[in-house]
Amino acid sequence: MSVKKHYSFLVNGENHTVESYPANRLLDVLREDLRLTGCKEGCGEGECGSCSVFLDDVMVNSCLVPIAQVQGRQVRTVEALSSDPLGKILQEKFLEHNGAQCGICTPGMLVAAITLLRRNSQPTLGEIQDGLAGNLCRCTGYKKIFDAVADAAQVAREQGVLEGGKA
């Protein structure tokens, strides 16, 4: 194994420094070192999207990001979504439509939904399916998740959280 080093970065607006091997996964640093267990490991291979977080506002699978790449950057996880107006609306709509069942895919679904709606505030059903294509769910059969995202988009537009048209 290589040598442990110190890495500093922001998580949900707070500074953190960890001592870690450079190839350690961001997922494990978040869950084990920082005890932010909201992001989930579903596969560890970038297939299921459960570990999705924002890295400098871009959605990434945190199981595929070595911590060395996070030095000096900003991470945002599901734990901070309530302070984001769009994130909060999505959380409420997932609850209302029963878009969360066992809860493991939910944090990643929310991150993917934010990413989609920022790009396209009026997605069609097909565009929602494409936007969530990197996220797997084994409980819901997906339909309630699609409904939640579509409803959240509408509410976010009505509340001025999202602009009306497509980007």
Partner 1 sequence: MGKYIGKEFSRVDGVAKVTGAAPYAAEFHVPGTAHGYLVMSRIAKGTITKIDTAAAEKSPGVVRVFTHKNTPKFAHPEKYKSFKALQSPEIVFNAQPIAVVVAETFEEARAAANLVEATYRREDPSTDFFGRVEEAEQAPDSPFSGKSVQTTGDAEQAMSSAEITFEAEYTIPAEHHNPMEPHAAVAYWKNGKLKIFDKSQDVYTVRSNLAAALGVPEDDVHVVSPYVGGAFGCSIRTNYYPFLTAMMARELKRPVKLVYTRRQMFTGHGYRPFTHQKIQLGAKKTGELISIIHEAANNTSTVEKWNDSTTRFTRHIYACPNMKTIQRLVKTDLPTPCAMRAPGAVSGMFALESALDELSYKLDMDPLELRLKNYAEVDPANGKPYSTKALRECYRRGAEKFGWDKRQPIPRSMREGNELIGYGMSTGIWYAFQQPATVKVVLKADGTAQLTSATSDIGPGTYTVMTIIAAEYLGIAPEKISFGLGDTQMPKAPVQGGSWTTASVGSAVHGAAMKLKSRLLSLAQKDKDSPLQGLGPDEVVLLDGRLQNRKQTSNGVSIVGILKAEGMDSMTEVHKETPSKIREDYQLLAHGAQFVEVRVDEQLGMVRVSRAVEATACGKIMNPKTSHSQEMGGVVWGIGMALTEHTEVDDRFGRIMNPSLADYHVPCCADVRKVDTDFIEEDDRVVNPLGVKGMGELGMVGIPAAISNAVYHATGKRIRHLPMTPDKVLKA
- Residue 81 within binding range of partner 1, rule CB under 8 A: yes
Pick the stretch among 68-76, 115-123, 142-150, 156-164 that binds partner 1 (CB under 8 A).
142-150
- Residue 42 within binding range of partner 1, rule CB under 8 A: yes
C-alpha separations of 154 from 20, 68, 122, 163 in Å: 43, 39, 7, 10
**Count of residues interacting with partner 1 (CB under 8 A):** 58
- Residue 36 within binding range of partner 1, rule CB under 8 A: yes
* Neighbour count for residue 166 (Cβ, 10 Å): 11
CA distance 71 to 122: 35
CB of 107 to partner 1, least distance (A): 5
Give the one residue of 110, 150, 156, 161 binding partner 1; rule: CB under 8 A: 110
- Residue 151 within binding range of partner 1, rule CB under 8 A: no
- Residue 98 within binding range of partner 1, rule CB under 8 A: yes
**CA 89, 91, 92 angle in degrees (round to 5)?**
65
Q: Which of 66, 79, 74 is nearest to 29 (CA)?
A: 66
Token pair belonging to 12: 């949900």
**CA 27 from chain center: how many Å?**
12
Binding site for partner 1 (CB under 8 A): 1, 20-21, 23-25, 28, 31-32, 35-45, 47-48, 50, 77-79, 81-82, 91, 94-96, 98, 100-107, 110, 128-130, 132-133, 135-144, 146
